[in-house]
Structures are given as C-alpha cells and as structure tokens.
Amino acid sequence: MKKRVIQFIGFLILRGCLYFVMAVLFLFLYDIIHKGGGAISLEFLTQAPRRGMTQGGIFPAIIGTFLVTMVTAICAIPLGMFAAIYLNEYARQSRITRVIRLSIRNLSGVPSIVYGLFGVILFVNILKFGTSILSAGLTLGLLTLPWTITASEEALKTVPNSYREGSLALGATKWQAIRTNVLPYAIPGMLTGAILGLARAAGETAPIMFTGAAFYLPFLPKSLTDQFMALPYHLYILATQHHEISLVRPLAYGTALVLIVFVLGMNMIATIIRYRLRKKKRG
Amino acid sequence: MIWLREGRGAESSNLAFRMTEAIRSKEGEEARPVGKSGFKAIRDKKKARPLRRRLKESAIHSFFFINGILAVIVLIGIFGFLLASAIPTFKEVPLKQFFISTKWDPTSPVKPEYGILSMIASTIIVTIGALVIAIPIGLGVAAYLSDVAHWRVREIVKPIVEILAGIPSVVVGFLGIVLFGPAIAKIFHLSNGLNAINGSVLLAIMALPTIISISEDSLNAVPQAHSEASLALGASRWQTLVRVKIPAALSGIIASFMLGMGRAIGETMTVLMATGNARSFPHGLLSSIRTMTANIAIELGEVPYYTTHYYALFAIGLVLFLMTFAVNMAADLILHRYQEREQ
Amino acid sequence: MENGKTKIETKNLDFYYGTTHALKNINMVCPEKKVTAIIGPSGCGKTTFIRTLNRMSDVVPGAKLSGDIFLDGESIISPQVDVVDLRRRVGMVFQKPNPFSKSIFNNIAYGLRINGLKDRQQIAEIVEQSLRHAALWDEVKDRLDENAFTLSGGQQQRLCIARALAVEPEVILFDEPCSAIDPIATAKIENLIHKLKEDYTVVIVTHNMQQAARVSDLTAFMMLGELIEFDTTTKIFTNPSNKLTEDYITGKFG
C-alpha cells in the first residue's frame, strides 16, 4: 500500500514538471502572439522603418534575415552533406575518425559569441569581406555546420546496407553505389535536417552582431558585401537600446512575433516533410 | 516502331511491355540467355579503363576526406585565431591579474583594469542557478515521458519540447525583459527585474530541451530486461524507475546535464538582455550581473581595433571557448564510459 | 575429379577480420557449369568463404586475405585486379532478398545502367530476358513499373536473381537464397538453379542438407573455418570419407 502511495506522489511530481514546462511555453507564445499581433499589419511587414524606427515596418529586416540564411544554406548544406558522406560511407574506425567526430561534437558546443569573434577575425578582417551579408552568412554557416553534418549522417544511416552491397555485387564502383543507390534515398532526410539547422541559424544574433548586421539602413542591401538588417538583431536593439524604449515596445513584440513565425514555420515545414517521408517508407 | 515514340525514361511498364512485346513477336521463341553480343562490347570497353576508374574513385575518396576533416580544421582554426588575438593582451596585463582581479574597467582614463573574476563569477552563478532549476524539472519530464506517459502524450509533448528548443535566444531574452522582469521586480520589491535570477530562469528554459531529450533517450535505452526483472520481483513502477532505470541510465543523464551546462555557459543574448550587466562582483541572486558572454557582446562593437582592450575581449572569448570545450569533453567521456559498459 | 574445366579455384585460402581467423587453409575447386554446394553448421565460415569469391569480403572492416583465388586461372586477389569488373562477372544473390526501392523494371535496369548500357531498347530487351530466365516474367510482365517491394518474398528473390543475371555473369553465388522464403517458392528457385547451370557456374551455400542433395553436383562440408571434405554430392551423402561429415549428415550435431 505504501508503495502505491509513494508511486502516486512520485508520478504526480513528474507530471507537475511536465505541466510546468508546457505552461512556460504557452505563456511565452501567448504573450508574444497577443501583444505582437497588435503590431502586425501589412505596413509593418512590407515597409521600411521611419522616424528613427518609431514608425514604419521591418521589411528590410525580413529581407536581410532571408538573405543571410541563404548564404548560410549555401555554405553549410553541401559541406555538411559531403562530410557526412565521408563519415558514413568511406571512413573506417580509426583515430582520425574519432577525432573528427569529437571535433564535430565540440563545435556544436562552442558559444555563438565565440563564432562571432571568429567571424570577425577571419571573414571581416583577414579575408577582408568586411561587415557584410557574406561575412555574417559564412559565420552562421560554420555555426550550422555541426548540425548539418549530424543530420546528414543520420539520413545516410537510414539507408539499409543491403542497398550498398546489392549495388557493389552488380559491379558498381563505390561512388556509383553511393550516388545511384544511397544518396537518392538519403537526400530528403538530409534536407529536412538542414532546414532545422537553418531555422536555428536564422534566430541567432551574436554571430551576426559584429559581422554585418546593422540597426538602421536606409536602403535594401544590393550585394553580398553590403551590411543588412536582421530580425533578431532588430529585436535586440528595439528591446534594449532604443532611445524610446516604451514607445517602440509594440514594434518589438511585432518583430518577435515575425521572427518566431519565421523560425517555427521552417521547423514545421521540416517536420511535415519528415512525417511525409516516414509515411512513404511504411507504405 | 513503338519504341521510337517514347518519352523520357523507360519508366512506364506499359511502354516497357509494349517494347518487349514487339521484340518477342519478332523473335517468336523462348528467350535465350541474355543478348551476349551487344553487351560484350560494353564489357570489353570497360575492361580497357580500370586504371582511370580507379584514379577517379581515389580522387572522390580524397575529396570527401577533406570535407570530413573540415570540422577538425575549423575547431583548430577557432582555437588558433582566438589564441593569436588574445595573447597580445598579456603584454600589458599580467596573467594572474587577469584571472584574479575583480575589477574590469578597461576604459578608465586613469588606470585601466582587466580583471575578469567578476564575470567568471557571474557566469558561474547564473549557470548554477539555471541548473538548479533545469536539472530536476528536466529529469522529471524525461522520466515522465519515458515511463509514465501514454504514447499519445509523448507524441504531443515531444514536438512541444522541440518548439521550446527552437525559440531564438533573443526572443527568450526579450521575454525576460517584458515578462519575467516585472514579475521578479514585483515579487522581490526591486526597481527592475534585470538580475541573476532572471537570467537563471531564462537559461534554465533554454537548457531544458537538451536535458529532457538526452535524458529521455538514455532512459529509453535501458534494456527492457532490467525493468522487467525489477517488476517481476514485486517492485512498483516508481521504484523500478528510481532504483533501476535511472541508475542504469545515469551516465547518459549526467552527460545531458553537462551539455545543458555547456549551453548555459555559452548563452549570450539571453543573459545580455536580462541580467542587468553591472560590472561589479555579484553579491547575491538579486544583483545585476554581467557574464563573460554579455561583456564581449557589449564592448566589441565600440572598442577601437588592436588596443589592449580589444585583445582582452578575445582573451575572454578564449576563456569561454576553453570552458565549454572542457565541459563538452567531460560529457563525451562520461557518455563513452556508458557505451563501453553497455557492451 | 573429372568434372570438366575448373572455373574457380582457391589455394591455401586464409581469411581474417580483425583478430578472428575465419577461414583456414581452404583448397577448393568449383568446376565450370556445375553446381557446387557448401554445407556446414552455423558459423562454420561458409558465408564468409563465398563472399571471398567476388571479394565482397573486402567490405568487412579489418579484412585480411592470404593465399590465392583463381577465376579462369587468373588470380583475383592481386592488387591489379579490377574488383568492380570481377563483381560483374561473379554475381551474388543474398540471403535476405534485397530489391532496391525502385520499380521492378529499374531494379534490373540498374545493373545495366551502371555498367554503361544506355540504349533503351537494349535495356528493355535484356530486362525481359532476365525475368524470363529467372522464371518471373509471366508474373510481373503487367506491372513492371510497380515498386519491387510489392512482390512476395519468393518473387523478390527471383527478382534479385534476374537482376544478377542481367549483367551477364559467368558465375552466380547463392548465399542461403531460400532461408527466408516459403517452401513453394523455394522449390521454384531450386528448379531455377537446376536450369541455370546449363549456362552458368553456380556456387550455393545452404544450411539445408536436403537442398544441397537435391540441387548440387559437388558438395563441400565446412566446419569452424576449415574444409573438412569435398567430393561429388552422391559420395558425400551416401558414403562420406570423414567421420565429421558423416556425423553432420546424419544429424548428430549442427
């Protein structure tokens, strides 16, 4: 009997933990949607800011985030796929392979501001790209790389070994087997993982703060070497450094809402693709 | 001739069937072994160039290898560049003072100070605070999901946890300012709620998804046989969870704590926005503090290039890198001991 | 043994992977256009052995091979050997049917395309003839573009046989081809093997002694990595020379 009581209380506590976490999340989302929704309007989404950001919209920030995410994608997705192909298809159990995997795990733990510092040294100063979409995109690309490598590797692992062996036994070279009978099945999974990584990158502020993001630019960026506005950085400034903080508070909420929709939207797309993939496999 | 009209790719069986029907009606006999004459030509052609093919495969292998070690190169690169940019600091600032002094005042016209102890303390306080909140709750949720929850609940909760993980840090920091700050100010009768507690709560929220998902994976990985043996002896599910499953999954659980800790240490925007950023040594959970990450973010924008101050910021970055590196390596070691034992 | 020309011969073949010594001093001869069966208890090395014949053994981590293997008198172990072409000449059907997740047509066309055949007419012709040769054509001719996984287990295995036949091998290796298949389909495949030996050299690994007796001309008995006895099937099953062979055949162990 005592066992039952203890179990009941114990499980109740566990359930409480769960409710706490869900409550926090709902609280967050509710606050942002509620207060941010009020600021959202067509003008907000499609126009540039005016009057020192107290009026107007955040369109340049949306474009900027989109552009820098594209650069990140071009940098992180192919490199991630190639590294994953090496690890899963070519690498043997050796010291080098262990070192590579260790490095990947460590890279995923490096603080985002440290990536920002690295980006300043390498892309802004040494390679002389200056503060630009290119520098920021490449910095974010490095940040996302461990993620795309891991996700791509997971996708490759789901392809049964019998496909590889079957191909080899028919006289395919190793690369032929990979290209024709492994990659086609792995690529959808790789892309899903990549989109999730990009969603994370789109929300990062620290790596882009000093490599290219700016608070107020009168024109849209015309090339990769221009500075750009970005949603997360915009939110940061509106929330902490603007000279009329309380006045722009609603705009801050609106920016937060747009950013969340952008990020969670990408997450949802990736999840839907993954769900469809799983269904196709079963059927 | 049927096959001359085909579109791209002989995919459709109907088309393939018609093609082969045409051939069969032409032959009108049982199939002989596969057309040796046509195929032999290809076989001989291929035989003439195995060396070229081998070189190509070798080149492809090397290409992928280079991509593979890219991660190592980047890691070494980050460390190297940080080190190179940090070392000039110590021409001006004695190493001991850097780590032991609590005064950080690099812009003082009278006597610039470069002590990071206050920042280290701030980082530690807010991390510990975060872990105190996140570890019990995270483990609790993980245990609930793996042992108690109906599978439908799991299907709903897992995406929710992923959503929580997906909220950008700047948004969490923003909520710290507009939501938690005023609440904390009201509860503790302060003028504003930007302090260590605020940061701790927010960091806990950011570390929770990591702790939850890795702990849950570890608990799920405990072989059924263990739980079944315990239940067969008359233990309740709770007792089995606490006395058998959690100890069995302990390495993975602890690794999840360490990875959560690594996240908390390295967080920038959240603490930047919600902890107040006062430079003094923290004197309690309600004091305004400035972590290492926040400090870099605040000062890097305005510091003149290539001054001692500039290098000192990179030195802080180096310290951060080494701290998270150590934590990650420790988590790795623990996880590996776990995997070895399971075999 | 007066069995005609030698197609495959192994001389003092030893195989290791990591620290495991899996094959010990195997000396065997597989004559042309005959069926050679390899039997033995679980773990005796028969699958490991057959995989050395098309060097699929290379895929195992830590694989090391010593001794020699000859195909038509030429060594297939030396570094100059084109392994890729070897695998086309020596085809393999695996234990568990492993069709690719493609259409039936494309499963077979795959082998042709990676070996450089592009002519669509030729491909279609060869696909049909392979399917006929594998006694599968009538069952699938109306649904060549359906995914291969819609076939039954026995049909999938015959598809894999057709796939192997399409690239025109000289030898076909069967690694316990019927262990995952129902008895009726097994009978069909055994008939097929009987027909195939008119044109191909067949080596078949099986844990089913009766199958070996039904299907093969020669039988090799292996145990713990060694070749215990190798002789005509009739002799092995009626009057084996080695006591171990006799014990295995009569069911004393295994």
In a domain, C150, yes or no: no
User: Whole domain around residue C21: which residue ranges?
Assistant: 6-98+169-249
B2 touches chain C (CB under 8 A): no
* Residue showing tokens 């890795």: B214
Cβ neighbours for A209, distance < 8 A, ≥ 6 positions apart: A116, A233, A236, B297, B300, B301
For residues B42 and B169, membership in a common domain is answered with no
In a domain, C219, yes or no: yes
Q: Is B2 left (phi over 0), alpha (psi -120 to 50) or beta?
A: alpha
Q: What is the pLDDT of residues A127-176, one digit of tens each?
A: 999 899 999 999 999 999 999 999 999 999 999 999 999 999 998 999 99
Containing B266, the helix (H) or strand (E) segment is helix B250-266
B18 touches chain C (CB under 8 A): no
Residue type, B216: E
Find chain A residues with C-beta within 8 A of B53's C-beta: 173
- N residues, chain A: 283
CA distance A161 to chain C (A): 10
C56 touches chain A (CB under 8 A): yes
Residue B265 three-state SS: helix
Query: Torsion angle, CA of B325/B328/B329/B331, rounded to 10 degrees?
Result: 160
In a domain, C139, yes or no: no
Determine which of A92, A163, A170 to mutate to test the interface with C (most C C-beta atoms within 10 Å): A170
Going by C-alpha positions, the residue among A239, A237, A241, A264 that lies closest to residue A250 is A239
In a domain, C120, yes or no: no
How far is the CA of C181 from the CAs of C104, C108, C187, in angstroms? Answer: 19, 21, 10
Number of structural domains found in chain B: 2
**Which residue on chain A is closest to C100 by alpha carbon?**
A163
For residues B121 and B233, membership in a common domain is answered with yes
Q: State the pTM of this model.
A: 0.85
**CB–CB contact B50 C120 (8 Å):** no
Q: What interface predicted TM-score (ipTM) does this complex get?
A: 0.90
In a domain, C10, yes or no: yes
In a domain, C69, yes or no: yes
For residues B164 and B276, membership in a common domain is answered with yes
Number of structural domains found in chain C: 1
Q: Per-residue confidence of chain B (343 residues) as pLDDT tens digits? A: 222 333 333 334 444 444 444 443 333 333 334 444 445 545 555 555 678 888 999 999 999 999 999 999 999 999 999 999 999 988 888 888 888 888 888 888 888 888 889 999 999 999 999 999 999 999 999 999 988 888 888 888 888 898 899 999 999 999 999 999 999 999 988 888 899 999 999 999 999 999 999 999 999 988 888 888 888 888 888 888 888 888 888 988 999 999 999 999 999 999 999 998 888 888 888 889 999 999 999 999 888 888 889 999 999 999 999 999 999 999 888 887 766 665 4
Task: List all chains that touch chain B, counting a touch as 3 or more CB pairs closer than 8 Å.
Answer: A, C
For residues B165 and B282, membership in a common domain is answered with yes
**CATH number for the segment(s) A60-282:** 1.10.3720.10
CATH of the domain at B294: 1.10.3720.10
Find chain A residues with C-beta within 8 A of B136's C-beta: 17
Cα–Cα distance between B128 and B265 in angstroms, integer?
10
For residues B24 and B125, membership in a common domain is answered with no
Find chain C residues with C-beta within 8 A of B50's C-beta: 82, 84-85
Determine which of B268, B298, B311, B314 to mutate to test the interface with A (most A C-beta atoms within 10 Å): B268
In a domain, B84, yes or no: no
In a domain, B310, yes or no: yes
CATH of the domain at C237: 3.40.50.300
User: Residue B109, exposed/middle/buried by CB under 10 A (0-12, 13-18, 19+)?
Assistant: exposed
**CB–CB contact C110 A171 (8 Å):** no
In a domain, B163, yes or no: yes
C142 touches chain B (CB under 8 A): yes
Q: Which two tokens mark C130?
A: 């392979």
For residues B43 and B135, membership in a common domain is answered with no
User: Whole domain around residue B244: which residue ranges?
Assistant: 97-342
In a domain, B67, yes or no: no
Cα–Cα distance between B241 and B269 in angstroms, integer?
37
For residues B171 and B36, membership in a common domain is answered with no
Q: What share of chain A is helix, strand, coil (3-state, %, to 5)?
A: 75, 0, 20
**Which residue on chain B is closest to C165 by alpha carbon?**
B34
Is residue B270 within 8 A of residue B293, CB to CB? The reply is no
